[in-house]
Structure 1
Amino acid sequence: MTKQSLALVTGADGFIGSHLVEYLLNKGCNVRAFCLYNSNGSWGWLDRIDKEYKKNIEVVLGDIRDPICVKNALKGCDHVYHLAALIAIPYSYMAPASYVETNIMGTLNVIQAARELDVSKVVHTSTSETYGTAQFVPITEDHPLVAQSPYAASKIGADQIALSYWRSFETPVSVIRPFNTYGPRQSCRAVIPTIITQIAGGEKRIKLGSTTPTRDFNFILDTCSAFYEVGKSEACVGQVVNAASNYEISIGETVSLIADAMGARVEISSEAERVRPERSEVNRLFGDNSRIKRLTEWRPKYDGKDGFKRGIARTVEWFTKPNNLALYKLGQYSI
């Protein structure tokens, strides 16, 4: 995209979305931020970004489930980065219909509006959870899709809606499939903030679910740069591309690494309420990033063990600032 173009970021009030807004602004892009409507006029995490950024974004409050609202937000935009979604896996066990409405119907609203308005590029956000437990590693984009949770099922459906518009109508869609993103501002729904905030709160016994699954963690800046590069690439149209660090580590090992970074000695306590149902747990995620490297200029800067340590250090630094830590309910299990 050019510096004169206007990019819409849906889900801009969330963790990745708010960072992507900052990233695009740093690249000189014009940004319209689509945030979930609320009566308080809150912009979510965008309320806490630097005031210089705030002056340069246009914020629209709405609901991704409403097609009229979505189409109005897309008017005049050249690019769309579609991140708005429900993402918590445990909550998808409790409220699966809301995941269908938000993730599948919301994506349909975005992609239909983009088609009608002749938008130049749509980058649709998928998730590594669509692969389920790895059947081979590293996981390429050709890996079978296996929904092990209602959340994963809704994202598979959303991905297919997006790709169907490319096949049916030549709508210029790319599907980016980030592996486990982490960094400042992430919810304690995710494991890394859960670990950091418990240690920062003085806990010596860290409450977690299963510690044996492995993940391919991506620092937030690498994820944002992947979005940007996919958005620029014509070669990515009609493609699914992994955004993965190509480094695998278990949850248990992640606890040790974070504890070392925070100078703490901890034990792990597995709590039943934090453990996924057996057939729903994704036991191994380890991504292949060769396609995105081939089709774009993207290269992860926080890859490998050393890169992961650097990303964790930056994340710990943010979370342990008193004003930031105060935003979290320490010790409370978040789904």
Structure 2
Amino acid sequence: MKVLVTGGSGFIASWIRKELLARGHSMLVFDHQDRRQQLADGEEFFLGDVRDATAVTEAAAHCDGIIHLAAVLGTQETISNPRPSAETNILGSLNVFEAAAQYNLPTVYAGVGNHAFRLIGTGCYTITKSAAEDLARMYNLYRDGGRITIVRPVNAYGPGQSVAAPYGTSKVRKIAPSFACRALAGAPIEVYGDGTQISDCVYVADVATAFVNALEYTAVHGPTERPVEVGPIESVTVNDIARLVAEQAAILTGREPVAITHLPMRPGEIPNAVVTSDTSTLKQIGLDAIDFVPLDEGIRRTVDYYAQTWLPGYLAA
């Protein structure tokens, strides 16, 4: 199968591409940033933006299936400037779904693990991504060619995730690189809120497996009956994650574990929030969360990655 991967230069996409290639698929990497120099054998590049319906339709015409990842990310970032997320996450997804229906292509759409938060107030990212889920359901119900499976990963983490300020250039702060870089640098880990909120994390390789399984399932059987929720069996708090990161960084640096400090929650973040997944939905695509990488092992791999790839440059600066 030749797969169109929108947002194909992103973190999760990079792991999905590896999984697709490992299974013998080829792909068309669609992204608005030109990173064709990073292509592997079996990959082609299409420079385009999902907001451009013509570009999306042209790319889809050359493929047998779609994994739709392109999105504007961020919680408080999308509150202060909601228009880009609305244009990309809603209208961009509409362009993808319309092209998929035109060519009768099996499609997997990346939803959000905290989709329920749209009912109690959160950032435009969750609102817009959830609105696109509603569009996907409409296409499946009423449009010829509507073959869209929704996959909702919780917080994906692992090697390769971009680092935000003050340790990197990313505009969106993600929990694993933020905690890991601070701990490796010897700075206290900063946790927003009291840290008792539950924010489940899932290793990115398991997320990639779920997306590819979902696409292969949809190609044969059509969309799954329920959204596929990708996450761990056991839930943990943000404080638990911070402690695991601090302990692994201490092993690597030979220092005592760094302290964990608490900051006020940011706009769009909900006190006592619970972000978990219904892992029973994985059975629809032949997976079981019991086989996923355990959190302690995933954190070890992730902190090791930043120690090897990020820390030397930081210390040399």
- Tell me which residue corresponds to 1:285: 275
SS in 2 for 1:128: coil
Deviation at 1:64, TM superposition (A): 1.0
Structure 2 gap segments, 5+ residues each: 164-172, 251-255
Counterpart of 1:198 (choices 182, 186, 189) is 182
Give yes or no for contact 1:81–1:124 (8 Å, CA) kept in 2. yes
Aligned partner of 2:158 in structure 1 is 183
Alignment of 1:1-335 (within 5 A): 5-37=1-33, 41-43=34-36, 47=38, 54-119=40-105, 121-132=106-117, 146-170=120-144, 171-188=146-163, 189-203=173-187, 205-210=188-193, 211-233=195-217, 234=221, 236-237=223-224, 239-263=226-250, 264-272=256-264, 275-277=265-267, 280-281=270-271, 283-293=273-283, 295-300=284-289, 303=292, 307-321=294-308, 323-325=309-311
| TM, length-normalised to structure 1 | 0.82
The alpha-carbon deviation at position 276 of structure 1 amounts to: 2.0
Aligned equivalents of 1:116 and 1:199: distance in 2? 49
Coordinate RMSD, CA, aligned = 2.4
Does the 8 A contact of 2:282 with 2:289 survive in 1?
A: no
Q: 1:266 aligns to what SS in structure 2?
A: coil
Moved over 3 A (4+): 144-147, 235-239, 277-282, 300-303, 323-330
CA deviations 1:78-117 (Å, max 9, x no partner) are 1100000012112111111111101000100000011112
User: Which residue identity is paired with 1:125?
Assistant: A
Q: C-alpha offsets along residues 45-91 of structure 1, whole Å, 9 cap, x if unaligned? A: x83xxxxx623210111111110111111112111000000121121
CA contact (8 A) 1:302 1:310 kept: no
Q: Matched residues in 2 for 1:329 and 1:300: separation? A: 38
> Which one is further off, 10-19 or 306-315?
306-315
Distance 1:258 1:208, change over 3 A: same
C-alpha distance in 1, partners of 2:65/2:215?
Answer: 8
Q: Secondary structure at the match of 1:239?
A: coil
Unaligned runs of 5+ in 1: 48-52, 133-143, 331-335
TM-score relative to the length of structure 2: 0.86
Identity %: 26
Query: Number of matched residues?
Result: 297
CA distance in structure 2 between the aligned counterparts of 1:127 and 1:12, rounded to whole angstroms: 18
Secondary structure (helix, strand or coil) at the match of 2:289 reads coil
